[in-house]
Amino acid sequence: MLKAMILLLFGLILFSLACGLWFLLRPASEDSSLKLLTSLKVRVLLTVGVLICLVYGFSSGALHSQAPW
């Protein structure tokens, strides 16, 4: 369940990134710059959500690293 949530958040981050690129490439207006800023805010919040999920997953044992070191 936690892995699916992390993947969903990553997908939403990529969608927000694509929306930000769309707003950046459109002709400049006050509305597009506000939408670009909102897209950045959403992306930052989603990234914080991913970090919280990762910290919770590693601390609870639901996630583990398979790195050999």
pLDDT, residue 28, reads 78
Alpha-carbon dihedral 63, 6, 10, 29, rounded to 10 degrees: -140
Q: Could you state, in order of their start, the residue ranges of all structural domains in the chain?
A: 1-60
What DSSP designation does 62 have?
A: S
Evaluate whether 57 touches 63 at the Cβ level (below 8 Å): yes
Q: At what angle do helices 30-60 and 2-25 cross, to 10 degrees?
A: 160
pLDDT over threshold 90, residue 59: yes
| pLDDT tens per residue across span 8-41 | 999 999 999 999 999 888 887 778 888 889 999 9
